Amino acid sequence: MNGADALISTLVANEVTACFANPGTSEMQFVAALDGVPAMRPVLCQFEGVATGAADGYGRIADKPACTLLHLGPGYGNGVANLHNARRAYTPIVNVIGDHATYHRQYDAPLNSDIATLVKPNSIWAKSADTPDAVAGLAAEAVAASFGPPGGPVSLILPADSAWLPASGEPVIAQRPVRPAPAGSAVEAAARAIKAAKKPVLLLGGQAVRAEALKEAARLQAAGVTVYSDTFVSRQPRGAGGFAPKKMQYFGEMALAELEGVDLMVYAGTTMPVAFFAYPDRPSVLVPEGCAQLTLAERGEDAVAGLAALADALGAPKEGPSQTLSLPEAAPTGKLTAYAVGASIARHMPEGAIICDDAVTSGAGVAAAGSTARPHEVLALTGGAIGIGLPLAIGAAVAAPDRKVLSLNGDGAAMYTVQALWTMAREDLDITVVVFANHTYRILNIEMQRTGAGEAGPSARKLLDLGDPKVEWVQLARGLGLPAVRCTSAEDFERAFEGAMGQRGPMFIEAAI
């Protein structure tokens, strides 16, 4: 056994059984070792941002890490944007980053870089296995660290000689950490404050928006506490049968207007809400002036236990409100809009579907109808770095092959990681991709006004427009191996989406809005 064998054996022994990879020369020992461990599924991605985003989608659905295999510092660098999103989602990921042999580093070869520094901002743990006998132990340590709590990406640097030299010992089993329950004093303080407040609000994030936590949050809603969730969360159930908290508004002034009069804000699985960006003469903190704040459950604590204890302390009902199934009866007709797309999705999306949402300005149209659709889950853009919708879907589909996966994307966002379409076709994943093609960075046009930068002139418009030349999405998708269709009317989309839901395998739909 060499170091690469020890690494893969330890990963598999710890239930890390999917590897999203774009390897190079330094990683060839790892690649060769895969043949001896069939339990590890290798998935080739033609861009590292696809590999890291796929590992994020896998971890969010599987509740355990996948690994990535990245080629030295530049390979890791190519995947940083989606690791930023994964860090904000608190997703467990084990990045395996190949490095030059330990004795070769001193010569500063062209691909040499300071990997330890590169990985630091988006890794909650990072170490280099500088000897083959250290590999198995560090691999187990990496897996354990990825769970946190609350969890996140970790980085194991693997020098080439540590991979090819003989390694001794058996696979090491990691100890998965357990989330502690919030302190009783935190529950008591929250209960006292809520009883004394005139207009209390509970803000949820992270683990507190998962299904079991939302059941307890619904009880608090029934007891008179208005429940909100963070604007973007890693994984949240939606649709009939579940509790739908309000969502914190994206634009700060809208959020503060909605929160006017709130005198207490309690946090579970999240922290104080802030505006996505700073704007001239507008506040950064989205908490009304004079509003008291306290934390029921920290991000790394058991929010389900905390919410249940708080509901009990307040004498809340055993059951709270839930959404009832309400589907659009008639198929949408006429002009194709994001809301028409949302209506068709709600009509035909099967129960248990997973939506990977990178639709940007078109997302509201789908969310509007989705709130009363068949039960499904939504994976959102947690870190704001667009280009995650396609890779997330790959990971979700690998983690849950029996569930239909929908990837919703703005056209600008989809171009960031368009290579993902090739992996979907190669792996024959059950993913339906929808690209909302408006041929502009619409969100940037909005933000240009909001920042006070003024109207876009001829030069500025060149940086906001995607229509010259227009991307030929159907040709592009077909060239990367997917069946594809362009829809220009609501009737077109209704037919195309209904057909996609009635079959298995990848499908691409351009929604020309």
Chain segment 208-248, per-residue pLDDT in tens: 999 999 999 999 999 999 999 999 999 999 999 999 999 99
| Cα-Cα end-to-end distance for the chain | 56
Alpha-carbon torsion (156, 92, 83, 435), positive or negative: positive
Residue 429 contacts residue 394 (beta carbons within 8 Å):
yes
Q: Could you tell me which residues come within 8 angstroms of residue 145 by beta carbon, excluding any fewer than 6 positions away?
A: 124, 125, 154
The fraction of the chain above a pLDDT of 70, given in percent, is 100
pLDDT value of position 445: 79
**Any bridge partners for residue 345, and if so which?**
none
Run of H or E residues at 93: strand 93-99
Run of H or E residues at 313: helix 303-313
Report the candidate in 254, 253, 212, 255 with the shortest Cα–Cα distance to residue 230. 255
Radius of gyration of the CA atoms of the chain, in A: 24
Assigned CATH class of 184-313: alpha beta
Assigned CATH class of 3-164: alpha beta
pLDDT value of position 339: 96
Domain 338-511 CATH assignment equals 3.40.50.970? yes
Chain segment 303-334, per-residue pLDDT in tens: 999 999 999 999 999 999 999 999 999 999 99
At 462, is the pLDDT very low, low, confident or very high (cuts 50, 70, 90)?
A: confident
pLDDT value of position 44: 98
The fraction of the chain above a pLDDT of 90, given in percent, is 93
Task: For the chain, give the mean pLDDT.
Answer: 96
- Which residue has 């939504």 as its token pair? 378
**Residue 101 and residue 125: Cα distance in Å, rounded?**
22
Q: What is residue 292's three-state secondary structure?
A: strand
Chain segment 417-429, per-residue pLDDT in tens: 999 999 999 999 9
pTM of the model: 0.97
**Residue 372 and residue 349: Cα distance in Å, rounded?**
12
Delimit the domains of the chain by residue range. Answer: 3-164, 184-313, 338-511
What would the two tokens of residue 286 be? 């989205």
